[in-house]
Every structure is written in structure tokens, then in C-alpha cells.
Amino acid sequence: MAYILGEREFWGLPFKVTPDVLVPRPDSETMIEAALALLPDRARPWRLLDLGTGSGCLLLTLLREFPNASGIGLDASLRALDVARTNAEALAVADRATLIAGDWREPGWTAALPAAPFDLVVSNPPYVEAAAIDGLMPEVARFEPRLALDGGPDGLAAYRQIAAAGPKIVTRGGFLAVEGGEGQASDIIDIFAAVGFAPLPPWKDLGGIERVIAARH
């Protein structure tokens, strides 16, 4: 339905959506709650990075909440970046949002990131086990971009790749925060701890699922 209407509300803000991006979901608003708790000073010029930005719902919402912050949104899909640019303009944060093409599955991907390291890195990466995608609800399996769903054989591939780059892209004392699927929090915590980050207690969504896992560098 969101693709038919061409828009979905997220954190009270309107976001354009097309079949090139995931539809923003209420569960992902947990990430905004977590970010506001991790960075309580909303006036500081924080440096933000959103990996797999899609529609831009996470990055652009955070730029609205942090009026002096600047941020980079990275996505492997050029069409998704076009959607994010449209949303950045509509939400009047385009002057503080840099949207660039990049793929964390490729060697050396962090070299393309200007202004690294960042105070906060957020991501809603693909976390569905590859073999389970076709069994998802039809409106997800048939219409949403597979690249944004496929988390590899165990659903955790993206977390390992992002965590491996964590020490390079997160400033000392900064945070890495990701959205996870049901039952994945403990595995993600172990992945973060293995690269020297200090995991925090997960944030639960409205359904009681441990949805956002964050760690301090």
C-alpha cells in the first residue's frame, strides 16, 4: 500500500517511498529513541553516518532532531539514493546530508567516507536469512528490495562486515547502533564485543523485541 500511495510516515514525518527502498516501519523508530538517548545534547554538531540509508528515514529524522548535526548516508543502490535525496529536500535538511554510493560488502569501502570517524553510526542492515526470504509475508518477499533483506546464510553477514569497520568509522567514545531481527540481539552483541566495542543493553520495540543494539567504541 505504501508503494501505491508513494509515501509512509516515520517519526511523524512524511517520507517518499518507491520499490527501490524498504518501507519505513514503526519498529525502526526505536532507533531514533536510542540515538536521542545516546546523544542527549541535541545542540552539538554531531557527525552521523547511516549505512544502507534507503529512503533516508533514519539519517534525515536524526538531522531534524539534531539541528546542528551533519550526516552521511551510504547505500549500494543509486535509485535508493535518489529517493533519499528527494526526502532530504522535502524535509529541509539537504544542506546537512551527504548521500553517497557505497557497498560495505566491497573491500576498502570505508575509504569513500568523508569526515570519518563519526560520533554515531546507525544502520538497519539486511538481517533475514537468505533461505527464509521467500517465506516472508508476500508484500515483503515479492515487492521490497531483496538487497535490503538478504542477511546471508545466518542473517548476520552485514553485522560482521559493519563491525569489522567499526574501529575506523566510529570515534573514540562514539557509538555504533544497529537494528536487528527477533532473537538476534545476543549474536550481534557478541559480534560487537569481538571488535573491542562495549555493548549496551538493547532497546526494545513496542512489541517487546530487542530491536536496537548499540555499543560504545
Confidence of residue 149 (pLDDT cuts 50, 70, 90): very low
Over pLDDT 90: what percentage of the chain? Answer: 74
Q: 48-87 as b/e, with b when 16 or more CB fall inside 10 Å? A: bbbbbbbbbbbbbbbbbebeebbbbbbbbbeebbbbbebb
**pLDDT above 90: residue 132:** no
Q: 167 Cβ partners below 8 Å, 6+ apart?
A: 195, 196, 217
Q: Which fold has domain 2-216?
A: Rossmann fold (3.40.50)
pLDDT, tens digit, 9 for 90 and up, residues 164-178: 999 999 999 999 999
Query: Domain segments of the chain: what residues?
Result: 2-216
Pick the residue with more confidence: 157 or 13?
A: 13
Q: What is the mean pLDDT of the chain?
A: 89
**pLDDT above 70: residue 103:** yes
Residue in the structure block whose three cell numbers are 569513500: 112
Q: Lowest-confidence range among 19-23, 35-39, 45-49? A: 19-23
**pLDDT above 80: residue 51:** yes
The pLDDT of 139-151, averaged and rounded, is 48
**pLDDT above 80: residue 204:** yes
- Confidence (pLDDT) at 138: 47
Over pLDDT 70: what percentage of the chain? Answer: 86
- Confidence (pLDDT) at 182: 87
Q: E strands of the chain, at which residues? A: 7-10, 13-16, 47-51, 70-75, 97-101, 118-123, 170-179, 198-199, 203-204, 210-216
**pLDDT above 90: residue 208:** yes
- Confidence (pLDDT) at 75: 94
Task: Kindly state the DSSP code that residue 66 receives in the 8-state scheme.
Answer: S
Tally Cβ neighbours within 10 Å of residue 136: 13
Give the 3-state secondary structure of residue 181. Answer: coil
Residue 128: which of 160, 153, 103 has the closest Cα?
153
